[in-house]
Amino acid sequence: MGNIDIKSTTVGVVGLGLMGSSIVISLLASGHRVVALAPIPGEKERAAGHIADLLRHADSAGILQYGIAPCVNRMKLVEDYRQLAPCRVVLECVMEDKAIKKSVYDQIAASVVDETIIASNTSAIPISELQVLVPHPQRFLGMHWAEPAYMTRFLEVTCGKQTDPRIADYIMQLGIEWGKEPTLLKKDIRGFITNRLMYAVFREALCLAEAGHITLSDSDKAFRYDMGSWVTLMGIFRRMDFMGTTDYIKGFGQLFAMLSNSTEVPVLMQQIVEQRGRGVHNMNGLYEYTQEEAKTWDRAFARFNRDIYELAEKYPEQG
Ligand SMILES: NC(=O)c1ccc[n+]([C@@H]2O[C@H](COP(=O)([O-])OP(=O)(O)OC[C@H]3O[C@@H](n4cnc5c(N)ncnc54)[C@H](O)[C@@H]3O)[C@@H](O)[C@H]2O)c1
């Protein structure tokens, strides 16, 4: 695949919604030339303002080594797919709809050279199902980012059935250059890694709440102040080694049989969806919010992202 040369690798981002815009900032901060493509009418103007706001935020957080101006110079904001021609990696970030993604891949493939790697940021569509939609499936894979992309270290790289492992290795190396701690999922399993882990936790907590044993707020408190006090440092398995594995073995024996294995959507979640609850976005969710409280959470999350990004840097993987 050749060595990584950030400056000479132009990356395309197609779809400039929440995640696409944020990924553009991460790539610019890493030194790439970026072609940012707005695929729907009117998005280019909206995205220009949004990307400018994000650049200011990234700059105030100290993420842009040389400030905003060189980033702006390295970015081309376009609507025409033909402008993707110089890109050797193109990240698709459009809405979670296979038919829309297919029409986007057709236009990307018609505009780039055969060697170009195409990656999807899909959260849930299996990569093996998406890669059959492109002319060179061996050069297609999943690249799942977390929001805000320029201030999180998470990057989940997923191979589909036909992905060439050398392409995945190259993308893993690129991820490291971007300041990520990438994980590689060699087999395309539903939910990838983090969603599978998190949904196991959601099911158990919602099951306990529905049975009246706990409140959601107590579950959040337990998660924040127990797991939250060590997880960014050591993950879950290093934590086991650290605490001594014997107690965990007892726990497996006693608890596994008691944990929920329900396959139903939890009633609490069904109710929220029926009430059209979108959480802090419309002040109706698993908690209640005033407009001011929703804004306070938004601001706190932005501050926290910055703090946790720095904290993770202080305590790198190798300890
Ligand atoms: N939101 C998250 O936190 C998050 C996290 C990880 C992955 N993802 C994934 O990233 C992708 C984008 O999610 P998002 O949250 O940025 O969504 P979004 O709704 O903010 O943006 C979706 C984008 O899709 C594009 N789009 C919409 N209709 C289109 C059409 N008809 N043709 C072509 N393009 C069209 C537009 O550029 C639009 O901005 C999805 O696959 C999603 O699953 C999202």
Whether 58 and 88 have beta carbons less than 8 Å apart is answered as no
* 1 pLDDT higher than 70: no
CA of 191 to the centre of ligand 1 (A): 17
Q: For residue 41, say if its preceding peptide bond is cis, omega within 30 degrees of 0.
A: no
| Burial class of 120 by CB neighbour count within 10 A (0 to 12, 13 to 18, 19+) | buried
Amino acid at 91: L
Average pLDDT over residues 60-85: 96
Of 19, 23, 305, the residue with max ligand 1 atoms within 8 A of its CB, to mutate for a pocket test, comes to: 19
CA of 96 to the centre of ligand 1 (A): 6
Q: Over the range 81-93, which residues count as b (16 or more CB within 10 Å of their CB) and which as e? A: bebbebbebbbbb
Which atom in ligand 1 lies closest to the alpha carbon of residue 15? 37
**Using CA atoms, how far apart are residues 141 and 143, in angstroms rounded to an integer?**
7
CATH for 10-185, among 3.40.50.300, 3.40.50.1100, 2.130.10.10, 3.40.50.720? Answer: 3.40.50.720
Ligand 1 atom 39: residue of nearest CA: 17
Whether 62 and 55 have beta carbons less than 8 Å apart is answered as no
Which atom in ligand 1 lies closest to the alpha carbon of residue 96? 41
DSSP string, 57-122: HHHHTT--TT-HHHHHHTEEEES-GGGGTTEEEEEE---S-HHHHHHHHHHHHTTS-TT-EEEE--
**Using CA atoms, how far apart are residues 212 and 244, in angstroms rounded to an integer?**
32
Q: What is the pLDDT of residues 243-291, one digit of tens each?
A: 988 889 989 999 999 999 999 999 999 999 899 998 988 998 999 999 9
Within the chain, all domains assigned CATH 1.10.1040.10 are found at: 198-314
Within the chain, all domains assigned CATH 3.40.50.720 are found at: 10-185
pLDDT of residue 2: 63
pLDDT of residue 298: 87
**Superfamily of segment(s) 198-314:** N-(1-d-carboxylethyl)-l-norvaline Dehydrogenase; domain 2 (1.10.1040.10)
DSSP element (H, E) containing 157: strand 154-159
Which atom in ligand 1 lies closest to the alpha carbon of residue 123? 43
Q: What is the pLDDT of residues 139-194, one digit of tens each?
A: 999 999 999 999 999 999 999 999 999 999 999 999 999 999 999 999 898 888 88
* 312 pLDDT higher than 90: no
CA of 143 to the centre of ligand 1 (A): 14
* 310 pLDDT higher than 90: no
CA distances from 152 to 58, 82, 149, 190, 317 (A): 12, 31, 6, 23, 15
Which protein residues touch ligand 1 with a CB less than 6 Å away? 15-20, 39-40, 43, 93-96, 100, 104, 121-123, 144-145, 147
**Using CA atoms, how far apart are residues 211 and 205, in angstroms rounded to an integer?**
10
